[in-house]
A and B are shown apart, each in its own frame.
Chain A
């Protein structure tokens, strides 16, 4: 069985602070990993994805994530957050049949 865990449920940062959201997964097969973001009142959008190759993946809006196979992790990072980054962030693992297994999400609040 595959699973995804996000340990930070709520994160509050000041603008310009650096961000790192943890994501760990459990899966015995080839992993496809995603970070989705849900801005207030909007639908889920893809932030970035990892399929293979360079373990450091860059996404939209200055976000990046690093796949560390030995740690079963795919942490999301951003050097300097903005107020507009306030949203809920979901890590997801792609499995067979195009199915996604989601983590519980991290609510990020960026204060001015």
Chain B
């Protein structure tokens, strides 16, 4: 079983739609949680960190549910420029103070005009 699992999609939505992505993690030693965005043939870039209290950045809202071990990302009023692959990322405490960065396989989003 993968440590971080995402629905690979693809999600094809019209402009203006609201779309939600979920990600589950299995390791209880998971410490930090993030959503990254990756455009085609580019490196991943941080979209937002994810906290239990939930956090919002403009049209984007992220939420962490530690009890159920899942992370969500909600995009409201989708724009064409939101088309990308969204990666769920977890930092796991592996031994002592050592940590490992673990990625989900990514969810592909295409926003259609």
Whether A and B are associated in the same complex: the answer reads no
Interface positions of A (Cβ within 8 A of B): none
Q: Which residues of B contact A (CB under 8 A)?
A: none
